[in-house]
């Protein structure tokens, strides 16, 4: 059972454009939603995270939008650059003590073209 569904599987965006990746979750107990960025041959690294008590979080060119009623959240990359080309994973977890497990989406391969 896939608890976090991510789309699209791949995305091509022109330099300077907006990249948008979407995720939907099923488990209403999830209350922490991070995004990880992975470059080829490397492990993922935390990019940005959000909790459901806010609808949006922005860090530089990266923004997470969160819709609790729809059980959806998305990553927006503004002014996309070739250096943003990577695979992006959304994830979800329950932040209670003893629940360290993350459930990951299937990933989106983003390519920024000049």
List residues near other proteins by CB under 8 A: 6, 9, 31-32, 34, 41-46, 49, 51, 89, 93-102, 104-107
Question: For other proteins, which is the closer residue by CB, 62 or 107?
Answer: 107
The residues, any chain, with a CB within 8 Å of residue 29's CB and separated by 6 or more, are 94
Q: How far is the CB of 30 from other proteins (least distance, A)?
A: 9
Distance CA 74, CA 25 (A): 11
What are the φ and ψ backbone dihedral angles of 28, each rounded to 5 degrees?
Answer: -70, -10
Q: How far is the CB of 99 from other proteins (least distance, A)?
A: 4
What are the φ and ψ backbone dihedral angles of 43, each rounded to 5 degrees?
Answer: -85, 160
Q: How far is the CB of 50 from other proteins (least distance, A)?
A: 10
């Amino acid at each position: 059972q896939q608890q976090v569904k991510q789309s699209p599987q791949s995305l091509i965006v022109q330099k300077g454009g907006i990249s948008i990746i979407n995720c939907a979750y099923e488990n209403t107990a999830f209350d922490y939603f991070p995004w990880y960025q992975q470059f080829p041959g490397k492990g993922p690294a935390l990019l940005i995270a959000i909790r459901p008590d806010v609808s949006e979080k922005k860090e530089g060119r990266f923004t997470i939008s969160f819709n609790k009623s729809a059980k959806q959240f998305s990553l927006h990359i503004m002014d996309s650059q070739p250096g943003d080309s990577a695979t992006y994973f959304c994830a979800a977890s329950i932040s209670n003590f003893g629940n360290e497990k993350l459930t990951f989406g299937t990933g989106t391969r983003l390519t920024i073209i000049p």
